[in-house]
Amino acid sequence: MTDQMTYIQLVGRPNGFPTADDFAFREAPLPGLEPGTALVENLYLSVDPYMRQLMDEVWEFNTPLEGRTLGRVIASADERLKVGDVIRHRYAWRTHSLVPAEEAQPVNEYPGVPLSAHLALLGNGTGLTAYVGLTRILDVRPGETVYISAAAGGVGSAAGQIARLLGAGRVIGSAGSPEKVRHLVEDLGFDAAFDYHDGPVAEQLAKAAPDGIDAYLDNVGGDHLEGAIENLREFGRIAWCGGISGYNGEAAPVRNIDDVLGKSLRLQGYMVRHHLDAREEMEARLVPLLQSGEIVSEETVVDGFENTVSAFLGMLRGENTGKMLVRVK
C-alpha cells in the first residue's frame, strides 16, 4: 500500500470560464486514522456543475475541496465501517480520504451493477436528482409532455429515462450537439430532441411540442427557461434543478417571467440534499431495470486522477454524455 496521497486545491478564481491554472496538484503522506474515521481509497470522483459556482467564493484557496466520491475502506477505526466496504462521501478531489463514519453513506452493491453507476444513475447528484425532480416536484403523470434541458448530461439522461417509466406521453430533450440529439432519440427513448445552437429554444420547442408541454425539468435556466415558459400549458409545472447557462457568466434574462402568473404555472426549486429519503424508493424502482438493461447508467468516464481538472473543464464545455466521472486509477 502506498503511503502517499495526491490531492487538488483551488489556487485561482476564474473570471468567466475556469482554466487548469485555477487548480494545483499536491502530494502528502496518507492521513493517520483517528477514532471514528476510516481511511478510504477513492475509486470514482464526480465532477459537477455546482463546483463552478463554489469556485467564485465558497471554496477557499489551498484548502481541501469537496464533492461526491465513491471509495473503498482500506483501514478503519470505527466499527460501522469495515475494510472493503464501498461508501459514498464528500471528501473529494483526492486519491485517499479520511472519512468520519457518520458522514459515510453505505452503498448497496447489486449484482450486474457497475460501481460507477452509484455516482451516476444511482448517484445523489444524478439519478436521485432526476427522480426527485420528476416524481416529487413535477409529479409527472401518464400521458403528459415533459421537456428536459441539458438532456444528454447526467441528470438529463437519467430524467429522460425516468420520465418514460412514469408513463410520460412525450419526452423532449435539448442538448448541445447533433450527436447528442441523435443519441437522445435513438438510444435513450426521447420522442424528440433539438440542438439549442440551431435556433431560439422557444421556437424549436414549439416545433417539438405543437400542443405545448405540461412539465419542465430545468437544468440550464436563461433562454431555456424562457422557452419552456412560452410553451407550457396553463397550470404547467417547472422544477428548477439548476441553471448551468449562468455558471460561467450571466444567464440570458427570462423576459416572460410574468407568464408564470398569467398562466398559473408552478415554479419550484429544489435541492436533492433535502430528499435523500427518496433513495430507497428510487433504488427499488431503478435497480431491477438497470440489471435487466431496460435503463442505462449513462456515463463518460475519464481515466486517471491526474485528469480530474480536465474532466471538470470538459464537463462545463459539454464534452460528456451522461454523468462525467473520473476513475481514480
Contact positions vs ligand NAP (CB under 6 A): 48-50, 125-126, 129, 150, 152-156, 175-177, 180, 219-220, 241-245, 270-272, 315, 318, 320, 323-324
> Least distance (Å) from ligand NAP to the CB of residue 37?
27
Distance between CA atoms of residues 17 and 179, nearest Å: 24
Closer to ligand NAP by Cβ: residue 78 or 243: 243
Cα separation of 290 and 297, whole Å? Answer: 7
Q: How far is the CB of 311 from ligand NAP (least distance, A)?
A: 11
Decide: 93 and 8 in contact? Cβ < 8 Å: yes
Kindly state the smallest distance separating residue 49's Cβ from ligand NAP, in Å.
Answer: 4
If the CB atoms of residues 10 and 324 are measured against ligand NAP, the closer one turns out to be 324
Considering only CA atoms, which of 284, 276, 286 is closest in space to residue 157? 286
Q: How far is the CB of 70 from ligand NAP (least distance, A)?
A: 15
Q: Which of 302, 227, 292, 215 is nearest to 257 (CA)?
A: 227
The Cα–Cα gap between 244 and 256 comes to: 19
What is the nearest approach in angstroms of ligand NAP to the Cβ of residue 38? 26
Q: 3-class SS at 89?
A: strand
Q: Strands, E, within 11-164: which ranges?
A: 23-29, 37-46, 69-76, 86-89, 96-100, 105-106, 145-148
Nearer to ligand NAP, 73 or 188 (CB): 188
* Cβ closest to ligand NAP, residue 238 vs residue 272: 272
User: Strand pairing partners for 232?
Assistant: 213
Give φ, ψ of 11 to 5 degrees. -130, 0
CB 215 → ligand NAP: shortest distance, Å? Answer: 16
Shortest distance, position 29 Cβ to ligand NAP, whole Å: 33
Q: What are the residue ranges of helices labelled H in 27-126? A: 50-56
Q: How far apart are CA 249 and CA 267, in angstroms?
A: 23
Indicate the residue among 209 and 220 with the shorter CB distance to ligand NAP.
220
All 3 cell numbers of residue 200?
A: 431560439
One-character DSSP codes across 151-209: TTBHHHHHHHHHHHHTT-SEEEEEESSHHHHHHHHHHS--SEEEEGGGS-HHHHHHHH-
User: Half-sphere exposure (CA, 13 Å, Cβ side) for 320?
Assistant: 29
Closer CB to ligand NAP, 17 or 25, in the complex: 17
Write down the least CB distance from residue 155 to ligand NAP, Å: 4
Any idea which residue has 440550464 for its cell? 220
Q: Which is nearer to ligand NAP, 75 or 202 (CB)?
A: 202
- Closest distance of CB 243 from ligand NAP, Å: 6
Q: Which is nearer to ligand NAP, 71 or 154 (CB)?
A: 154
Nearer to ligand NAP, 73 or 122 (CB): 122
Q: How far is CA 123 from CA 68, 87, 159, in A?
A: 9, 12, 13
